[in-house]
């Protein structure tokens, strides 16, 4: 799956590294860089540059972060991904 996304990105932008950033309701920054190795189909999801944890209920547990990663790949690249298959990608 990541091989296809990386190759699709490389064909349109010339690189297989993807970037995105947005802000939470409280103004906290979420910054994501996804570096995809198109030969192995592996990816590194890097949140460097994101705001630190905050007090309150806006932080996310690991399961929610993994779901958000799958959702962002589906949304950003219009790629059909089996929702129940994410366990294979992140274990």
Q: What's the pLDDT tens digit per position in 68-89?
A: 777 777 776 656 666 665 555 5
Could you tell me if 43 and 37 are in contact, meaning their C-beta atoms sit under 8 angstroms apart? yes
Could you tell me if 82 and 62 are in contact, meaning their C-beta atoms sit under 8 angstroms apart? no
- pTM of the predicted model over 0.85: no
Q: What are phi and psi of 45, to 5 degrees?
A: -100, 110
Beta strand pairing call for 42-46 and 17-23: unpaired
Give the per-residue pLDDT at 48. Answer: 94
Give the per-residue pLDDT at 49. Answer: 94
């Amino acid at each position: 799956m990541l091989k296809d996304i990386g190759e699709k990105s490389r064909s349109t932008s010339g690189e297989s590294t993807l970037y995105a950033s947005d802000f939470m309701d409280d103004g906290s920054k979420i910054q994501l860089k996804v570096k995809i190795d198109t030969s192995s189909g592996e990816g590194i999801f890097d949140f460097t540059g994101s705001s630190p944890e905050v007090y309150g209920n806006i932080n996310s547990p690991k399961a929610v972060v993994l779901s958000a990663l799958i959702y962002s790949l589906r949304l950003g690249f219009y790629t059909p991904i089996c929702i129940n298959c994410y366990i294979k990608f992140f274990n």
